[in-house]
Structure 1
Amino acid sequence: MVTVTGHAYPWDVIGDPSFPDRVRELGLTGVTLAASYHSTRAATPLHPRHQLVDARWAALYRPVRDSVWAPHRLRPGAAEWMTEADPFGVAADALRRAGVPVTAWIVLTHSTRLGSAHPDLAVTNCFGERYPYALCPANPQVRDYAATLTAEAVRDVPVDAVSLEACGQLGLAHLGHHEKTDDAWTANAARLLSICCCQGCQSAWRERGLDPGEVVDRLRADVHAEAARAPDPSPTPLTDPMAGPLLATRHAATDALRTQVLAALREVLPDAPVTLHANPDPWATGPSPGLTPTAAADVDALLVPAWPTGPASAEIVTRAARTGRPVDAYVTVLPPAAPDALADHVRRLRGAGATRFSLYHLGLAPAWRQRLFVEIVKAVHDD
Structure 2
Amino acid sequence: MVTPTVSAHAYPWDVLDDPAFPDRVRDAGLDAVTLALSYHSTRAATPLHPQRRFVDARHFALYRPVDHRAWSGRRLVPSRADWAPGPDPGGAAVEALAAAGIPVNAWLVLAHNSRLGTLHPRLAVTNCFGEPYPYALCPAQPEVREYCATLAAEALRGLTPGAVRGVSLESAGQLGAVHLGCHEKTDGAYPAAALRALSVCCCAACRARWRAAGLDPGEAVALLRRSATAADGPPVPDAPGSVLLAARHTAADELRGQVLAAVRETLPGVPVTLHAHPDPWATGPSPGLTARAAEDVDALLVPCWPTGPGSASLVEAAARHGLPVDAYVTAQPPADPERLPAHVRGLRAAGASRLSLYHLGLLPPPRLPLLARLAKEFRS
Deviation per residue, 1:107-150 (Å, 9 max, x gap): 00000000000000000000111100000000000000000000
- State the SS of the aligned residue for 1:296: helix
- 1:66 and 1:374 map into 2 onto residues whose CA distance is 42
Residue equivalent to 1:278 = 276
Residue equivalent to 1:39 = 41
Residue equivalent to 1:185 = 190
Contact residue 278 and residue 302 of structure 1 kept, 8 A:
yes
Q: Where does the alignment leave 5 or more consecutive residues of structure 2 unmatched?
A: none
Residue equivalent to 2:206 = 201
Q: Are positions 1:222 and 2:227 aligned together?
A: yes
Deviation at 1:277, TM superposition (A): 0.3
User: What is the RMSD computed on CA atoms of the aligned residues?
Assistant: 1.0
Residue equivalent to 1:172 = 177
TM-score scaled by length of structure 2 = 0.97
Pick one of 24, 27, 32 that aligns with 1:25. Answer: 27
Residue equivalent to 1:96 = 98
Deviation at 1:238, TM superposition (A): 4.7
- 2:215 and 2:185 map into 1 onto residues whose CA distance is 34
Q: Are positions 1:15 and 2:23 aligned together?
A: no
Alignment of 1:284-363 (within 5 A): 284-363=282-361
Pick one of 362, 365, 371 that aligns with 1:364. Answer: 362
Deviation per residue, 1:188-224 (Å, 9 max, x gap): 1111100000001000000100100000001101111
- State the SS of the aligned residue for 1:134: strand
Pick one of 114, 131, 144 that aligns with 1:129. Answer: 131
Residue equivalent to 2:158 = 156
Q: Are positions 1:111 and 2:116 aligned together?
A: no
- State the SS of the aligned residue for 1:340: coil
Q: In structure 2, give the amino acid aligned to 1:376.
A: L
Q: In structure 1, give the amino acid aligned to 2:222.
A: D
Contact residue 194 and residue 235 of structure 2 kept, 8 A:
no
Deviation at 1:267, TM superposition (A): 1.2
Deviation at 1:365, TM superposition (A): 0.2
Q: In structure 1, give the amino acid aligned to 2:205.
A: G
Structure 1 residues 185 and 136, CA gap change in structure 2 (3 angstroms): same
- 2:330 and 2:96 map into 1 onto residues whose CA distance is 25
Contact residue 308 and residue 336 of structure 1 kept, 8 A:
no
Q: Which runs of 4+ in 1 moved over 2 A?
A: 236-240
Deviation at 1:243, TM superposition (A): 0.6
Contact residue 58 and residue 76 of structure 1 kept, 8 A:
yes
Residue equivalent to 1:232 = none
Deviation at 1:171, TM superposition (A): 0.3
Pick one of 66, 69, 72 that aligns with 1:67. Answer: 69
Residue equivalent to 1:264 = 262
- 1:78 and 1:205 map into 2 onto residues whose CA distance is 36
- 1:264 and 1:140 map into 2 onto residues whose CA distance is 15
- 2:337 and 2:219 map into 1 onto residues whose CA distance is 48
Q: Where does the alignment leave 5 or more consecutive residues of structure 1 unmatched?
A: 230-235
